[in-house]
Amino acid sequence: MHNSHQNQNFKLITLGQNWLKKGSQVALATVINTWGSSPRPIGSQMIFSESLKIEGSVSGGCIESEVIEKGLEIIKANHPKVLSFGVSNETAWNAGLTCGGEISILVESFNKLSENENFKRFLDALKKRRQVIMIKHLPNGEVFFHIDGHWLQKKPKIPDRFELNKLLKSNKSYVIDNKWFVQFFPPTPRLIIIGAVHIGQTLSRMANLCGFDVEIIDPRQAFITKSRFPKQKLFMGWPDERLKVSPPDKYSAIVTLSHDPKIDDQAITHALNSKAFYIACLGSKKTHLSRLKRLKQKGFNLSQLSRIMGPAGLPINSKTPPEIAVSIMAQLIQTKEDNKHFYL
């Protein structure tokens, strides 16, 4: 279930909106099908403007150059087009298809897409971390939105034999009958960092780059400052206060870094009572055993406590705060991608 690139797509769409507000003409390119080897999976996107501002990726190599060239024409024509590329192993590297293969890319006017009457509701749903599916009719560019199990407008006329309702529950992006592209947008994963410490400075930046919304919680005013954590969501207060109002869900990860049981244990208690997909705690093996003993006295059983990864991070002999942050981020991603329920 490698849908993490879909979380990056939300950021691309938001960026595209900002370009539109400045009067730009913008195109959106989306990988809708692949055969053989392709460096970017189905659903990967790239946006670009007529002034050649470019973000995202659909392949690399000369394919993206051609996509941009054709896209500038499509912006003017205001009609979507599917571009197909197929190469042999000998020419694959230059084309950006590492070992040969084929790829189909939908290129469309982002300006036109944003004019859809339901596009704002689609964006609002993404911002609120709701599950969204967008279906595009490839021949004419008509767009349909499905949010939390409900259609925002009429249902697309996809033949019954394709069992659309069953396909929507698969939570994958795919093409139906070479006419319909179904794109799944899972809620943006959330990383809650407990303790505004040095490791958190690096970890929060890496998590942002990997498509996570990050929130840092710490009751200690001297630690949780904008100068130490620029561009991050900060909550100065106890974890209990914040997590009662905004509890973790199945798209949430929680990492405790404060080394203070009074702070960390509050967060762990909320995490264990939630469906958070990743719970990790910094500290030595001895510290972790003491932590488990305290939590057991609070009534948590061994099955619940086994969800806690401690010491946090993959065992890569990390020593410095940035190295420890790398080990935690790697373990977090591994857990998310191994979790078959994450996108369900």
CATH topology of domain 190-338: Rossmann fold (3.40.50)
Nearest to 295 by CA among 282, 283, 304: 304
Beta strands 174-176 and 180-185, pairing class: antiparallel
Nearest to 257 by CA among 207, 306, 293: 207
Say if CB 35 and CB 97 are below 8 A apart.
Answer: no
The token pair that represents 267 in the structure block: 């967060």
How far CA 147 is from CA of 13, 15, 269, 276, in Å, comes to 17, 22, 31, 22
Domain locations in the chain?
A: 1-188, 190-338
SS3 content of the chain, % helix, strand, coil (to 5): 35, 25, 40
**Long-range contacts formed by 239-242: CB under 8 A, 24+ apart:** 239/194, 239/263, 239/264, 239/266, 239/267, 239/270, 240/266, 240/270, 242/215, 242/217
List the chain pLDDT tens, one digit each, 344 residues: 344 555 578 888 989 999 999 999 999 999 999 887 666 788 999 999 999 999 999 886 668 888 999 999 988 888 899 998 876 544 445 555 555 578 899 999 999 999 988 999 999 998 888 888 999 999 988 999 999 888 988 889 888 888 877 777 777 788 998 899 999 888 889 999 999 999 999 999 999 999 899 999 999 999 999 999 998 999 999 999 999 999 999 999 999 999 999 999 999 999 999 999 999 999 999 999 999 999 999 999 999 999 999 999 999 999 999 999 999 999 999 999 887 555 54
